[in-house]
Amino acid sequence: MFSENGASRFVRLQGTFVDDEEIERVADYWRQRQKPNYLFTKEEITKQSSMNAVEDDLLEEVTYFVVRQGSASTSSIQRRFHIGYNRAARLMDMLEERGIVSEALGTKPRQVLVSEEVVHALFE
């Protein structure tokens, strides 16, 4: 039985159970019939994920931006650099780890803890 959000009555749904082994067999069958055409190689994905884990290429620009602004918020980084929330939040975490901005203050922007001279020394 299924109750859709806001619905007053239940709906009876019925389907089949497909276990993991059967899914693997079907996937293997199609892989044998035609070679998969992946968008990215495993090496490209591994390289990109390790690069993201180390440092974002926008970190320096974002650091100067928040220091010049005098405060930092994830939404301001998103707007200024035209990036998504996840990347902006990751950059904010990097700034916090490096001691450039304060911890989150609820919904208020974070305080900048260093001067532009200190930031300049960090990136040279």
CATH of the domain at 107: 1.10.10.10
In a domain, 22, yes or no: no
Q: Where does residue 65 rank: exposed (0-12), middle (13-18), buried (19+ CB within 10 A)?
A: middle
In a domain, 49, yes or no: no
Taking Cα atoms as reference points, which of 52, 75, 47, 50 lies closest to residue 62? 75
Summarize the confidence of residues 90-96 as an average pLDDT. 92
Total domains, the chain: 1
CB 83 within 8 A of CB 58: yes
The predicted model scores a pTM of 0.56
> What is the residue range of 95's domain?
57-122
Summarize the confidence of residues 97-122 as an average pLDDT. 90
In a domain, 46, yes or no: no
In a domain, 21, yes or no: no
